[in-house]
Structure 1
């Protein structure tokens, strides 16, 4: 069965904090999605930050502040950011 990316604001914030990014408050972050692509925007230290999560070529992909971040399937499953259909 294929596995598809899924996310919500809480899961994205937890993943990004795990990856070492400082997100001051979940309530100050903006979350949006389009089909199977997810974005999180926040302000930290006076600077705007953004994160993009989706799948590319059947693998999970995480782009934070225009830099690709290493993301494994184990991390995706740990944070519940994938579903089977």
Structure 2
């Protein structure tokens, strides 16, 4: 993904980068909110740690298509998590 460079050496994100970042942060927050439904706090902590590691691992991706692929994978994982939480009720 392209970064725009200003004359003073400062880089600014493109609009696409901004949108993808916001979508990723929204997905991360949705995962964390879903974990509040878990009664087992150890399990919630473990899933939170897994999610954080996964997001940190892919933090510096630049290719928009790769980022979208990982977002789709994350949305699927969130859907599965929510389904599991519903079954556990």
Query: TM-score, length-normalised on structure 2?
Result: 0.27
Higher strand share: 1
TM-score normalized by the length of structure 1: 0.28
Bigger helix share: 2
Q: Rg larger in 1 or in 2?
A: 2
